A and B are shown apart, each in its own frame.
Chain A
Amino acid sequence: MSDTDAQSVFFMRDTMLPQVPPPAGQSGPVRWLRENLFSGWFNTILTICGLIALYFLLRGLLPWFAHSVWTADTLSECRQIIAAKWGPDATGACFAVVRERWTQWLFGFYPRHLYWRPVLTLVLMFVAMAPVLFPGVPRKLMIFSAIYPFLGFWLLWGGSAWVPLGGMAGFVLGYIAWRVLRENRPLVGILVAVVIALLWWLLLAGPVIDLFRSIAPLAIESVRSDRFGGFVLSLTIGVAAIAISLPLGIALALGRQSDMFLIKTLSVGFIEFIRGVPLITLLFTASLLLNYFLPPGTNFDIILRVIIMVSLFAAAYIAEVIRGGLAALPRGQYEAADSLGLDYFQAQRLIVLPQALKISIPGIVSVFIGLFKDTTLVIFVGLLDPLKGITDAVRASIDWKGIYWEPYIFVGSIFFLFCFGMSRYSMYLERRLKRDHR
């Protein structure tokens, strides 16, 4: 067809006119400016006000950053340098403090020759998180993810390797008990597993660990909890609390929906109590009250106590976020799962939770971000958080007395990095799990 057309239709044009750009002002930046910034007298005034505000803001900030000093030993030296270089009235940031003291913000008072241990823990953390966070990573790595909490504990606190191994043994024993019983009595299996693990930890673990220790100590240099500080402390508490609070929150959310009166009442009571109390109250409870309740002589580490309290706090919020996700699921999903003969745990695991958690991702990540930033509150129980604890410690030295903004900017940007990372990951996850094709 087209061949004959080409031959017979002789008036068909063989050269095209060159493309003409659209009239000026109808495309590109000019059009954008006109549409968005100067589309009427009101918007024009707003734009001008905005520009004026921006000018004053930058007029203060830019020289301060531009004049910043990165090498100096004291704050007064900083000021001298700025005055000599930019005139007596010039302002300037003194980031020399960050340069000189950054290890303190990152590691607190962790022994200098052992810095490699928290660094290794951090690196391994990313290895352990990879199979949990990304689908492309081999599933076998999950085994490392399961071991990681104990390995991380050992690396950070040091001491005998038998302590974390003993802790792990409790989980292994519980898991074995659950595997044996789950076929016939899933609920009883869970109960027995918990009881066995608790018995092990409370009664048997101590003597057994001592026994192994006396045979072969397997110890590395131990670091006391009061040497922890800065981001090592924040990340330890934050990551541990995130890892503990998510499963706990899921369990509480399901417990709140349960038909069983006791489970429902306990869950509701726990959630409402924890949410009704400020986090600082819980932290004080962790640091002071628990000592009254625990048998005298028990040495229950303060950081572990704080981790438990922060986890419980976050779990209550996560439970409510997930409850929102559960409520958004149509009843038909439960009915379809029931009518196919799936039991309660199968239905929750395969049908309900995957959908409810997906809906809850933004809320859960918000709770995690809040939790991570709230780790700075541990200053109130005498732990050196990076924001105030370490900054005050740095400022206490005569060299850096009076420095104010620079440490906060430094600490704030590191927090931003982590929180922004979490936020981006949650958006990636939402995109990856998108199934509705609307």
Chain B
Amino acid sequence: METIERAPDMSHMQVSDEIAIQIRDMNKWYGTFHVLRDINMTVNRGERIVVCGPSGSGKSTLIRCINRLEEHQAGQIIVDGTELTSDLKNIDKVRSEVGMVFQHFNLFPHLTILENCTLAPIWVRKVPKAEADATAMHFLEKVKIPDQAHKYPGQLSGGQQQRVAIARSLCMKPRIMLFDEPTSALDPEMIKEVLDTMISLAEEGMTMICVTHEMGFAQAVANRVVFMDQGQIVEQNTPREFFNNPQSERSRTFLSQILGH
């Protein structure tokens, strides 16, 4: 919790009534293993949601379903009004509107930082190169590494690489950002710089879903915490309620393990 130093500026963090993501009765199996059971969840535009839960509870799988890196077998997922089916057009449309940040950064090692950021805008959005470069530099400044633009990912530290990964997603001007344990592969002193970047993103009103174990981040930024266990959503609540007055036995056990020390 000590990683969050400043209180986020909440002035822009308004949640609108517009629905960004709607998940209805969604189920997913890996072979015969039932990973996600009856997931129902609505995310409004501007909401910051933290998904937490013990490992193997299906958190990552859930957010990976939202941009169809994983396929769901039953139920509905509607992102920005587009339903995810096996229709490739819809999938590409959703993916270009939804940015994703991975635990292991997944930067393209054969391209420079700048090229990493401009690749998708140039090829997917058909933005002219000069404009894509300018956008990329804008976001690289935002994540505070413009001077590394012409280096290769292998030359950067983990925290810098993760900030580049965030900038790379932002260059597509997504309306929704997904974070899949963005700080889990980082050394402790680098977690802060990545969280700071995520907080400033939240301050600008980005719709965010974060799978993370950073409870400090959840308390400071999230307006809803979703607790999952064994493929089910056990509890959804405001951070204040969730941390101070957890409703279910499983949430209480989880919180005592993660905060108790």
Contacts and interface: CB of A to CB of B under 8 A. Distances in A.
B154 A437 contact: yes
A343 interface: yes
Interface in B161-176: 168-169, 172
A88 B7 CA distance: 102
Given A339-B99, A346-B123, A435 B152 contact: yes
A435 B153 CA distance: 9
Contact of A341 (B96, B110, B154): B96
B108 interface: yes
Contacts of A342: 119-120, 123-124
A87 B172 CA distance: 84
Q: Which of B95, B96, B152 has the most CB of A within 10 A?
A: B95
Contact of B172 (A340, A355, A437): A340
B69 A438 contact: no
A289 interface: no
A413 interface: no
B192 interface: no
Contact of A350 (B119, B152, B168): B119
Contacts of B157: none
B119 A340 contact: yes
Contact of A355 (B110, B152, B154, B168): B110
Q: Which of A330, A332, A341, A435 has the most CB of B within 10 A?
A: A341
A340 B102 contact: no
Contacts of B104: 330, 332
B256 interface: no
A340 B120 contact: yes
B102 A335 contact: yes
Nearest to A351: B108
Nearest to B64: A335
B99 A438 contact: no
Interface string B101-119: 0101011111000000001
Contacts of A341: 92, 95-96, 120, 124, 172
B135 to A, nearest CB: 14
B154 A436 contact: yes
Contacts of B123: 342, 346, 350
A339 B67 contact: yes
Contacts of A436: 109, 154
Contacts of A346: 123-124
A358 interface: yes
Contacts, number: 67
B247 interface: no
Interface residues of B, number: 26
A336 B109 contact: no
A156 to B, nearest CB: 38
Given A338-B95, A351-B108, A355-B110, A332 B154 contact: no
B155 interface: yes
A384 to B, nearest CB: 44
Interface string A321-342: 0000000001011011011111
Contacts of B110: 354-355, 358, 433, 435
B202 interface: no
A339 B67 CA distance: 7
Interface in B120-138: 120, 123-124
Contacts of A336: 100, 102, 106-108
A333 B106 contact: yes
Q: Which of A339, A342, A358, A438 has the most CB of B within 10 A?
A: A339
Interface string A341-370: 111001000110011001000000000000
Contacts of A438: 154
B124 A340 contact: yes
Q: Which of A335, A336, A354, A435 has the most CB of B within 10 A?
A: A336
Nearest to A336: B106
Contact of B102 (A332, A351, A354, A435): A332
Interface of A: 330, 332-333, 335-336, 338-343, 346, 350-351, 354-355, 358, 433, 435-438
Given A335-B106, A340-B124, 12 more contacts: A332-B104, A338-B95, A339-B100, A340-B168, A342-B120, A342-B123, A342-B124, A346-B123, A350-B119, A350-B123, A435-B152, A437-B155
- Closest 3 interchain pairs by CB? A341-B96, A336-B106, A332-B106
Interface of B: 67, 69, 88, 92, 95-96, 98-100, 102, 104, 106-110, 119-120, 123-124, 152, 154-155, 168-169, 172
28 contacts: A330-B106, A332-B102, A332-B104, A333-B108, A335-B69, A335-B100, A336-B106, A339-B67, A339-B69, A339-B95, A339-B98, A339-B99, A340-B124, A341-B172, A342-B120, A342-B123, A342-B124, A346-B124, A350-B123, A354-B110, A355-B108, A355-B110, A433-B110, A435-B110, A435-B154, A436-B109, A437-B154, A438-B154
